[in-house]
Structure 1
Amino acid sequence: MACILVVDDEMGIRELLNEILSDEGHTVYAAENAMQARTIREQMRPDLVLLDIWMPDVDGITLLKEWSKAGQLTMPVVMMSGHATIDTAVEATRIGALNFLEKPIALQKLLKTVNKALESSPKYVEPPEDKASQPSLSAGSGSPKASTLEQPLASSAGEYISGIAKTYFDLPLREARDLFEKAYFEHQMIIMGGSMTRISEYTGLERTHLYRKLKALGIDTSRNKGEQ
């Protein structure tokens, strides 16, 4: 997935964005001030920067101007602030910022803005696995190809499902259901690359409900962070 730099002097914001974006499979680097942001931008060459406007010492607008004048605005930058005026947002856009996020940042707004920004990132390329993981359809049939359905599941989930299928009918309903749901969601995490958004959309579960469900089933979502 993408390499994203989050620049914010508030630890809580950095940790929250890191958790959300890592769940989406992105690699996240955090900086609490302009000095750290300069270093990470130079070393990691991020696909996207989420830049807070109000920071001590050097604010986000000043850092954006610095990158623009030095010809270092080679990646999309999305500004963030909970107190900025419309004039500030317009100025940031004029300098070179792609978009603006108002704090507190709504989850869906964040993900939509990040995805949109990555589409304009010159060095970011959407991994081909995203398309390959979706079932292909036969021409005019409207149903998955037989070859797709006949392929074995990814090894870990497939072996798990094969093992529990033999004992389903010997278990109480609640236990059998929990075993099936755990196998089902572990399989979805594999084929969706650990993306909580994609799993939420595919299963029809609201994201918060999905997290509670995975936690109740004993599924560790952290193991998929940064993977695709």
Structure 2
Amino acid sequence: MSEHFAFTPPATVSVPVVGSTERFPVHRIYCVGRNYEEHAKEMGFTGREPPFFFLKPADTIVVSEPGQTASTPYPSLTNNLHHEIELVVAIGTGGKNIKAADAARHIYGYAVGLDMTRRDLQNDMKKQGRPWCIGKAFDHSAPIGPITPAAQAGDIHHAAIWVQVNGLDRQRSNVAKLIWSVAETIEHLSNAWELQAGDLIYTGTPEGVAAVVQGDTLTGGVDGLTPIRVTVA
């Protein structure tokens, strides 16, 4: 018997794949907090603390299609919207309790992403000891560029990562400076959740996070991947 829904289900959120007409269907979005040492310091922390994670709904994705500028609205309730440029890992084969040595075979590809953050709301929740989903998991908070299959991504683990706002550098670092590598992150994450094909992992941001305002254009990249370009509407 076919299912009858109370209303039409939303379309599957998907991201384009470089060199293919196929699209990558998104299941979940996991994000790693404070995964570059200098960013941890600018947020008031130091050292190689155990990794921690937060999630964004799949429909917070804003796709920066190849050669186009995506648009993300300035969100409500904030006066301090921050950019955080990140390497995104796309999971192609799921699993639980994945060892770091086996992590590569679970990776479909990589993309450039932005973890947009209502910093004032996040900080307020931190002070109150409450969850800070309102600062991270809001609508349009996860812009992303096309996914490059892993075999075509080059030496992603030593790639430069950067973002410019209106043509001026804001963040510039190297993926090699991750506190927890991509493989280690997958190991830790898969101990807590069973990863599924379609999962995206935003691996953390380097130092230099700062505010953007309406009208700003952000251009970001990771060497070897298609850059992302987003305007704050």
TM-score (norm 2): 0.21
Where is the helix percentage greater, Structure 1 or Structure 2? 1
Where is the strand percentage greater, Structure 1 or Structure 2? 2
Q: Relative contact order (alpha carbons < 8 A, sep ≥ 6): 1 or 2 greater?
A: 2
Q: Find the structure with the greater CA-based Rg.
A: 1
TM-score (norm 1): 0.22
